[in-house]
Structure 1
C-alpha cells in the first residue's frame, strides 16, 4: 500500500502525502469523528444508510467505498452547504451500490476548485470494474452513483 500511495503521489504532484496508518473502511462512515459527523459539523445534514452484511466486502472494496463517500460528502460541504445529503451503501453477493444525493443549490457559475474529486471517484470505480455517474439532479442538487461488482468483473451500465 505504501508503494501504491507513493506512485499516486508522483502521478498527482499536487497531492498531499498519504497517511500510512490503517486503511479506513465502512466503520469510518458514521463512527465518532467519521465522515458523516464531519459533514454535519460543516453544515450538511446527512442521512446515512449502510446495508452491508459483515464480511461482504474485501478490505480494498471497503476502502474504495469509504473514499467515494468521503469525496461525495466533501463536495456537498464545499459546493452545496447548507444542504441535506442522503448516503446509501448497499451490498449483495453480486454488487456494491453507493448513492449520494444532496439538495443543495449548485449554479453553473460555481467556483471550480481544480481538484481531482470526481475524477478520482471515476478512477476508483473503474479500477474495480464498476460504473460511475455524477451530475445535477432535475429537482436540484447533485447525485453521485457508483456500482462495483463483488467479483471484480465489469458491471453492466
Structure 2
C-alpha cells in the first residue's frame, strides 16, 4: 500500500471513530436512554459507511442520510440531522454532482424543520437555532467540498503545466545537443572532404587519410546522436553518459586533424566539477571550434580551461577574421551556448578579439571547495 493510500485509510478510520463517539455522546447528552436500542447501532453504521466514502461517495451519503432518518423516526430526539453525516456531505460535494448533494441536504433540512416543530411552542429561539444552524452547516460543508475539489483541479493543472514546461525545456536541451553535435561534425567532416577532393588524384594516400578521419568523426557523432535518441525514447536510465570536459582532448584532436592549430591549456582539476557544468564546458568548446572551422578562416586557436574555487572559465580564441563591421550575428550555436550557460547561472561573451574572435564563459560551480 502506498504512503498516500495508507494515510487516507488512517484518516478514514479516525473519522469513522470520531463520528461514532460524537453521535453516541450527543445522543446521550440530549437525554436518550438505552443507547443499544438504536443509538449505538446507527452510530456504528455511520462509522462503517465512512470507511468506503472515497469509493462510493453518493451511496455513502444516501445510506447515511437514511440511517439518520430511521433513527429519528424511531427515536424522537433533538440531536442534529446534518452534522452526523457531515463527512459524507463533504466527500460527495468534492466528487459528485452538487445539485444532488444539495437536494439531499435540503430534503433533510425540510424534514428536520417539520420534525422539530414541537419545539416552537416551547422555545422559538431554540427552534430557529436548530433549523438555521443545520442549514448553515450544510452550506458550509458543500462550499468546503467544492473549494477542495477546485484546489485539486488547480493542483492538477499546475502539475500538468509544470510537466509541459519541463518537457519543453528537455526538448530545447536536446535540440541544443543535436545542434552542437551536428555542427561540429559537419565542420570537421567538411574540412576533411575538401582535403580529400583536392588531393584525390595527386595524393590518393592523403585523400584516403582525410576520408578515414572524416569517417571516425562521423561515427563518434552517430554514437552521440543515438545516445540522445535513447534518452528521448526511454529516459536517461541505462544510456551512456554525455561527453564532458574529460573528452575535450578529442575535440582538439579533431580540429587539429582538420588543419587548425589548436593549443589546449588546462588549469586546475576539472574532474571535480559537477556533471552538468562539465557537459556544458564540452559543448561550449565543441561549438566554438566548429564556428572557427566553418566561419573564421583561422589557422590557429587557443582553448583555455581554468578551474577557480567556485567557478570554471572557458575561453576559446582564434586568429581568424573576427566579426564583420556590423557586429556579431548570433546564430543557433551562440544562442545555444548562451542559454546553456545562463541555465547554470553563468555568463557568456562572444565577439572580436585583438587577433580574431573569442568566446568566454564563466560558469559557477555551487558547493565547490574553497
TM bin, normalised by shorter chain, reads 0.7 to 0.9
Higher share in helix: 2
Taking the aligned partners of 2:256 and 2:297, their CA distance within structure 1 comes to 10
Quickly say closer, same or farther: Cα 1:53–1:44, change in 2 above 3 A.
same
Matched residue, 2:355: 140
Counterpart among 87, 103, 120 of residue 336 in structure 2: 120
Give 1:26 shift.
Answer: 1.5
| d(CA) in 2 for partners of 1:105, 1:123 | 25
- Relative distance call for 1:5 and 1:48 in structure 2 (3 A) is farther
The 5-angstrom pairing of residues 26-37 of structure 1 reads: 26-30=245-249, 34-37=250-253
CA distance in 1, matches of 2:350, 2:362: 12
Matches within 5 A, 1:7-156: 7-8=171-172, 18-20=225-227, 21-30=240-249, 34-53=250-269, 55-106=271-322, 108=324, 115-137=331-353, 139-151=354-366
Runs of 5+ in structure 1 lacking a partner?
153-157
TM-score normalised by the chain length of structure 2: 0.35
Query: Of the two, which has the highest radius of gyration?
Result: 2
CA RMSD across the alignment: 3.0
- CA distance in structure 2 between the aligned counterparts of 1:44 and 1:101, rounded to whole angstroms: 12
Task: Decide whether aligned partners of structure 1 residues 134 and 54 sit closer, same or farther in structure 2, where only a CA change above 3 A counts.
Answer: closer
**CA distance in structure 1 between the partners assigned to 2:276 and 2:301 by the alignment:** 25
Distance (whole Å) between structure 2 residues aligned to residue 67 and residue 55 of structure 1: 16
Deviations 1:107-129 (A, max 9, x none): 628xx998511101101110110
Which gives a bigger RCO, structure 1 or 2 (Cα 8 Å, sep 6+)?
1
The total of aligned residue pairs comes to 143
Q: Distance in 1 between matches of 2:267 and 2:308?
A: 9
Q: Name stretches of at least 5 consecutive residues in structure 2 with no aligned partner.
A: 1-166, 183-223, 228-239
Three-state SS of the structure 2 residue aligned to 1:140 is coil
Which residue does 1:155 correspond to in 2?
A: none
Tell me the secondary structure at the aligned position of residue 70 of structure 1. helix
Higher strand fraction (1 or 2): 1
TM-score between both structures, scaled by the size of structure 1: 0.77
